[in-house]
Structure formats: C-alpha cells, structure tokens
Amino acid sequence: MPFTMKLTHILTTALLTLPLALQAQKQLTTEEFEKQLAKSGDAQLLDVRTPDEYGEGHLAKAANVDYKSPDFREKIAKLDKNKPVYVYCLSGGRSAAAATALHESGFKEVYDMKGGYLKWNTSGKAVEGANKAGVKGMSSTEFNKIINSEKVVLIDVHAKWCPPCVKMLPTVTKLQKEYAGKARIETIAYDPNKALVKELGVEEIPAFLLYKNGKLVTRKNGFMEEKEFRALLDAQL
C-alpha cells in the first residue's frame, strides 16, 4: 500500500474510533451527573474515595471502591461491563484516573463527575451516611479573626491525600517564614473543616484564598509554582 494511502487509512481509522472513545468515558457536571444518574435504571455508582471519607458522607446507593486500594482493579472486574458506571471522588482527580482504568478494563459507558463530592455537597445536593459527630473544625468566628488582620492573609485549603497539596507544602512553609511580618499564610486542612470549607464556597482543592483588610481579593485553585505564590502576595503588599 502506498505511503499516502496507508497514512490516509490510519487517520480515517483514528477519526472513526475517537468518538467511540469519547462516548465510553465522559465527564459530567454535577447537574448533568445528577440528572443522568436519575434516568439510568441500571447504573453502577462508585465512590472511589477512602472508606473514612465515604463514612463521612456519600451519594445515595454509592458503592465504595477505593481507587488507591491495591485491589481496586480486582473489585471493578466484578462489575457488569455492559452497564453504565458513574464515578466520583472528592474533587475529581481520583475519579478521572478511575474512569480511565474502567475504560481500559472494557467498560462501555463511564461517567466521571466533575468537581466530585466537594462540588456536589457545596451545591446543597442530598447525601447520606454523614457522620454528624465528626471532628470539630475551625469555626467561622475563629476564621474571621485570622483574616481580619492588618497584614495580607493567604489561606491554603489542603488535604494530606491531595498530591498537588503535598507537593506545594514545602513552598508554603518556606514562604510562611520568608513573608512573616509582611503577610500571614495559614493552612487549613479540608477533612476536619468540611463545614467551614463549604461556607467559604471552596469547590476544589488545593484552594488559595487571599484576603486584605478582611475582604477576599483573589481565589486560586490547583497547583502553583513558587513564583506564582510570590506574585500573588507581592501584588497586595
């Protein structure tokens, strides 16, 4: 087969198979996820967070299959590959990876919830199994005392199971010392402070909230390099 014909054949095949791949693994907003899940009578709903996270609240009828567990693939192999699978985690990172693993394992329809349980919960949607006792976190009064400072205040909302959060922690610690006297940098762990995080409207972590004179100036999400932190702080000093 001539080279040009062979290349055309390869490109045509790729274009024909691409829509199928996109259909097999699709990301939905919380609203789309809720509506589509309600319509699907044979859906398999997976919460791929840890058992501890699951125990603090989850979507109704969700089965807990921890993505970080060594037997994750063994567990999903027991599911029906011909039925749609809806998957979510806390903010979207683990569920995206889990959705890919499900697709690679032969599942025909995989739907990943964008924003995860954090977005779902802060939107006021129904959950079940929440542990009301929980760990008492920071109160709104305590938080307001922190941000009502003459200094610029940067709040880092993080979690120990969040890879970008862990990766940035040395930088945050370094800047806490370097900017002491000029700015206040505080870290707030997500897990014991779910109520406060919800009140702050944080729907994704890592999250960085910059306050000046008690008012929110900037909100950032995701991984940031050291130079980005510096630019963020220096712009308000």
Q: 127 with 56: CB under 8 angstroms?
A: no
> 88-118 b/e with 16+ CB inside 10 Å = b?
bbbbbbbbbbbbebbbeeebbbbbbbbbbbb
Residue 89 is among the residues annotated as catalytic for this protein: no
Of 94, 83, 85, 92, the closest CA to residue 29 belongs to: 92
179 and 108 housed in the same domain = no
Q: What is the pLDDT of residue 99?
A: 96
Choose the final residue of a domain: 122, 155, 174: 122
Q: What is the pLDDT of residue 136?
A: 67
Q: Which helix (H) or strand (E) holds 116?
A: helix 116-122
Q: What is the pLDDT of residue 20?
A: 40
155 and 230 housed in the same domain = yes
Q: What is the pLDDT of residue 123?
A: 82
Catalytic residue selected from 28, 48, 99, 162: 162
Residue 132 placed within a domain: no
217 and 172 housed in the same domain = yes
Residue 5 placed within a domain: no
Domains held by the chain: number = 2
Tens of pLDDT, residues 25-71: 799 999 999 999 999 888 999 999 999 889 988 999 999 999 999 99
Give residue 28's domain range: 16-122
Q: Which helix (H) or strand (E) holds 118?
A: helix 116-122
Those residues of the chain that have pLDDT short of 50 are: 3-5, 7-23, 133-134
Catalytic residue selected from 85, 96, 165, 202: 165
> pTM (2 decimals)?
0.67
100 and 173 housed in the same domain = no
Residue 2 placed within a domain: no
Q: H/E/C letters for each residue in 7-62?
A: HHHHHHHHHHHHHHHHHHEEEECHHHHHHHHHHCCCCEEEECCCHHHHHCCECCCC
116 and 148 housed in the same domain = no
Residue 1 placed within a domain: no
Instruction: Report residue 203 as tokens.
Output: 């729907």
How far is it, in rounded angstroms, from Cα 27 to Cα 123?
A: 18
Residue 182 is part of a domain; what is its CATH number?
Answer: 3.40.30.10
Q: What is the pLDDT of residue 216?
A: 96
164 and 114 housed in the same domain = no
